[in-house]
A and B are shown apart, each in its own frame.
Chain A
Amino acid sequence: DAKTTQPPSMDCAEGRAANLPCNHSTISGNEYVYWYRQIHSQGPQYIIHGLKNNETNEMASLIITEDRKSSTLILPHATLRDTAVYYCIVRVANAGNNRKLIWGLGTSLAVNP
């Protein structure tokens, strides 16, 4: 089962910041938060990941609360091409120190002109 909770859908105006929330209240201390997105009919695309500190790259920023129970993905200037399903995922440790990503249903972000 997925260990994250995201709103099923969000809207954002083009050019504005898109703030996508994610709850992961049962996250443990050594689990990372990953964000991927899936544009219609394409494979998922990695965006960013983090453990405790806020992270920024050329695509987005990731803000993780101090208690690590929630995070927010920020797309600073959303464009129409950012319309996609955004997945917040917690990395789970599996037997034998192997790891897998457990995917939820994500947030369907619609960027409107």
Chain B
Amino acid sequence: DTAVSQTPKYLVTQMGNDKSIKCEQNLGHDTMYWYKQDSKKFLKIMFSYNNKELIINETVPNRFSPKSPDKAHLNLHINSLELGDSAVYFCASSYGQGVTEAFFGQGTRLTVV
């Protein structure tokens, strides 16, 4: 059973399109995250939700809109895709926001052409 699953694993799309990445966790965690890993392999947090409430919103263009329908799901919608959005996006989850380990999904490789 996959703990944190993301779909799709690969996404190739043209500039200007709108796309969504879905994430689901079956660990019973109450906190979920979206991270972006760029071509230089830096991993940066984008958003964090706790019990469906947004708690961390880093400096991310408002073309990126996370949505958490329930605490087991955190989807990422991206409008008007740009070349610079090409990256690997990771979803993660954890218990609470304190000293806990985070479980990561396998990533979604987004390529904007």
Contact = CB atoms under 8 A, between A and B. Distances in A.
A binds B: yes
Interface of A: 32, 41-46, 49, 85, 87, 91, 94, 96-101, 103, 105-106
B60 interface: no
A103 B102 contact: no
18 contacts: A42-B106, A43-B4, A43-B104, A43-B107, A44-B90, A44-B104, A45-B104, A46-B102, A49-B101, A94-B56, A97-B97, A98-B48, A99-B97, A99-B98, A100-B45, A103-B42, A103-B43, A105-B42
Contact size range, B: 20 to 34
A42 B107 contact: yes
B103 interface: yes
Interface of B: 4, 40-45, 48, 55-56, 90, 92, 97-99, 101-107
A35 to B, nearest CB: 10
Contact of A105 (B41, B99, B104): B41
A49 B101 CA distance: 8
